[in-house]
Structure 1
Amino acid sequence: MESVDGRGKDGLVGGSDGRGPGRVRVLVVDDSPVDRRIVERLLMISGNLFDVVSVDGGKKALELLGLNGPQDDSHNYDDPNVDIILTDYCMPEMNGYELLKAVKEHNHGSSIPVVIMSSENDPQRISRCRACGAEDFILKPLQTVDIEQLRNYARPPDLSATKTSGKRKPSRDIITDSNDSERHPRPRLAGVAVA
C-alpha cells in the first residue's frame, strides 16, 4: 500500500506502528483530501484518544483491512486492529454504502463498526445504511461532539486484539443528547440499540 503524506508505511498519521493504550484506531475513508485532513485533525486533537489510518477510497480500505480476498477460513486474514471505520458516503468507484455492505458481508469484517458521513441529509440513504448495519450516519461538517461519539461505537480493545469473526456485543453505554440540541441543531439519529 502506498504511503500517504506524512504517514508511516502502515498509513498511520504520525508514523506510529502500534496503538497507544486505551486508544481507538479509526480508519478514515474519504476521496476528498481536504475533508480527510479535517477529519484526521479533529480525531488527533480529541484528547489523544485516537490513532488514525486514512485512505482515499473504498477499494483501498478493503485492501488495508484484508477483506478483498476470498472468505474461506484458509485465507490468511491479517487483522489490522481497526476499531471503527468512518467513511464518506459519496465517493467514486465504491461509495460508502457499498463499502459498508462489503465489510458487513465479509466473514472477518462483520464485527467492525462502520459510521457513514455525508453532507446530504437524505432520509432514504440514511435508512438504507442503517438497515445494512451502519452504527450511525453523521452529517458533514463533522463537529467535536460527532468525534466524541465514535468511541461509543468502536470495538472494545480486547476484541480488536484477537482475530475473531463473530459479532461484537453491543455497548451498554447510554448516549444522551439532553443539551445537545442547542449546540448541535442538525438532525441526530439514535445511537446503538441495546438489547
Structure 2
Amino acid sequence: MVCSSSSKGIKEKEERPHVLAVDDSLVDRKLIERLLTNYACKVTTTENGQRALEFLGLGDGQHSINNSLKSSDLKEIPVVIVSSKNVSTRIKKCLEEGAQEFMLKPLQQSDVKKLRCHMMKFRKPSSGRLCMGR
C-alpha cells in the first residue's frame, strides 16, 4: 500500500508527492521505493497496514484496515492496490471498497509512470495523497 499525504503526520514541504509504500515484503518495499524515487516522489515505507495508519496519525486502535479502504478518516486518500494475486473477485472487491486502481506485481517502470499521472490527477494544490495496497 502506498499513501501520500500532507496532513495527519506527513508534512509536505516540497512539490513532489509524498508516498507511503506498505508491503510485508522488504524486497517489494525497496523496489517500490526505488521506482517512485526515480519519479521524483518522496517515499516512506512500512511493513503493514497498522504501521501505515500509525504513520498517518490514525493508529489509535479505532481504525481497522479490515473495516473498509475508505473509512471516513481516510476518505480523501486515493488508493491504488498493487498485488501479486490476479483474482477477479478480489480485484472487484478492492475497487468496490474504494480503490481507484488495481495493478499486478511485480511493479514495472511503466506502471510507475501511470501511477505518477494518477497521483497528479488526485492531487490538491496543498495536499496530494495516494495509497497503494497489497
TM normalised by structure 2 equals 0.75
Q: Tell me what 1:156 maps to.
A: 123
Greater share of strand residues, 1 or 2? 2
Q: Does residue 1:68 correspond to 2:36, yes or no?
A: no
Q: Is the 8 A contact 1:67 1:109 kept in 2?
A: no
Q: CA contact under 8 A between 2:12 and 2:18: conserved in structure 1?
A: no
Rg larger in 1 or in 2? 1
Percent identity (aligned): 40
What are the superposed Cα offsets for residues 51-72 of structure 1, whole Å, 9 maximum, x if unpaired? Answer: 111100000001111223358x
- The residue aligned with 1:122 is 87
Question: Deviations for 1:121-150, whole angstroms, at most 9, x for unmatched residues?
Answer: 100000000000101111011011211122
The one-letter code sitting in structure 2 at the alignment partner of 1:40 is: E
Greater length-normalized contact order (CA 8 Å, ≥ 6 residues apart): 2
* One of 49, 53, 56 as aligned partner of 1:58: 49
Matched, 1:131 2:96: yes
CA contact (8 A) 1:29 1:56 kept: yes
Gap runs ≥5 in structure 1: 1-11, 72-93, 162-167, 169-195
The one-letter code sitting in structure 2 at the alignment partner of 1:32 is S
CA RMSD of aligned residues (A): 2.6
Gaps of 5+ in 2: 1-9, 130-134
Displacement after TM superposition at 1:157 (Å): 4.0
